[in-house]
C-alpha cells in the first residue's frame, strides 16, 4: 500500500521527511507530505474544501492508496476519535462524489506537533548545546503524559540560547528522535504509527 500524508503546519511539513523514513512498516510511505491551507479548528465544510486539493494530488499524481490527514486538535474539547471520525466520513463522502478510489484516515495530534516533539526526552537531551532538559521537564511528559503537557512552554523554556524556532527546532528534534520513544509518551502519536502500519501498534494504540 502507498500511503500519503497531508499536514497543515510548517513544522510538520519540514519535519515529516525526517520522521517517515524512521517508521517501520511494510507499506510504502510517501516521504514528502503535502501542506494544506486549512485551519484545524475550522468548520467541517471548510476543512473538506481545504484538504481535498491535497487528497486529489496524492491519489491522482502520486498514486496513494491511503491518505492520512494529520491535524492539530488545538483546544477543541470533543473526543479526538469522534472529531477525527467526523472529518474522515466527510472526506470519504467527497472522494466518493469525485470517484476517487482511496482510503482515508485522520489523526489529530493532541494537542499539537510540539506535544510529539517533547515526548522523546532522550532526543532533546542529545542536543545539550541547544536544549536544557531537567528532570522536571521529563516528569511532565513521561510516562505517557506528553499529550497533556504544555509543550510549547516546555520547549521555549528548554532552549539555551536564542528563542524557540518552530520549524528549525522541529527538524532538529525529529532528526534525533525515535518513533517508538515518542510513542511511549504520546497516545496520539501511537495512533499515527498505527495508521502508518507500524507492527508495534497494529492491534491497538491505547497502551504504550
* C-alpha span between 181 and 155 (Å, rounded): 17
For residues 123 and 103, membership in a common domain is answered with no
For residues 142 and 196, membership in a common domain is answered with no
For residues 100 and 144, membership in a common domain is answered with no
Residue 110, pLDDT score: 92
Number of domains in the chain: 2
What is the extent of the structural domain holding 152?
114-181
pTM: 0.96
128, part of any domain: yes
Burial of 170 (0-12, 13-18, 19+ CB in 10 A): buried
206, part of any domain: no
pLDDT along the chain (208 residues), means of 10: 97 98 98 96 96 98 98 85 93 98 96 97 98 98 97 98 97 98 98 98 95
Taking alpha carbons only, the member of 152, 154, 139, 153 closest to residue 185 is 139
For residues 123 and 60, membership in a common domain is answered with no
Amino acid at each position: 500500500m502507498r500511503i500519503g500524508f497531508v499536514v497543515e503546519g510548517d513544522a510538520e511539513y519540514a519535519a515529516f521527511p525526517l520522521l517517515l523514513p524512521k517508521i517501520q512498516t511494510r507499506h510504502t510511505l510517501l516521504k514528502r507530505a503535502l501542506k494544506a491551507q486549512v485551519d484545524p479548528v475550522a468548520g467541517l465544510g471548510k476543512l473538506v474544501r481545504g484538504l481535498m486539493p491535497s487528497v486529489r494530488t496524492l491519489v491522482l499524481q502520486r498514486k496513494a492508496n491511503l491518505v492520512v490527514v494529520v491535524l492539530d486538535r488545538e483546544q477543541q474539547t470533543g473526543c479526538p476519535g469522534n472529531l477525527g471520525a467526523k472529518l474522515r466520513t466527510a472526506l470519504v463522502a467527497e472522494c466518493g462524489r469525485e470517484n476517487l478510489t482511496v482510503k482515508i484516515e485522520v489523526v489529530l495530534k493532541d494537542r499539537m506537533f510540539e506535544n510529539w516533539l517533547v515526548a522523546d526526552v532522550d532526543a532533546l537531551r542529545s542536543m545539550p548545546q541547544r536544549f536544557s532538559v531537567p528532570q522536571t521537564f521529563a516528569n511532565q511528559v513521561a510516562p505517557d503524559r506528553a499529550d497533556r503537557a504544555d509543550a510549547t512552554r516546555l520547549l521555549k523554556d528548554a532552549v539555551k540560547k536564542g528563542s524557540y524556532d518552530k520549524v528549525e527546532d522541529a527538524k532538529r528534534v525529529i532528526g534525533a528522535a525515535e518513533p517508538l520513544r515518542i510513542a511511549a509518551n504520546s497516545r496520539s502519536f501511537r495512533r499515527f504509527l498505527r495508521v502508518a502500519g507500524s507492527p508495534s501498534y497494529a492491534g491497538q494504540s491505547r497502551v504504550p
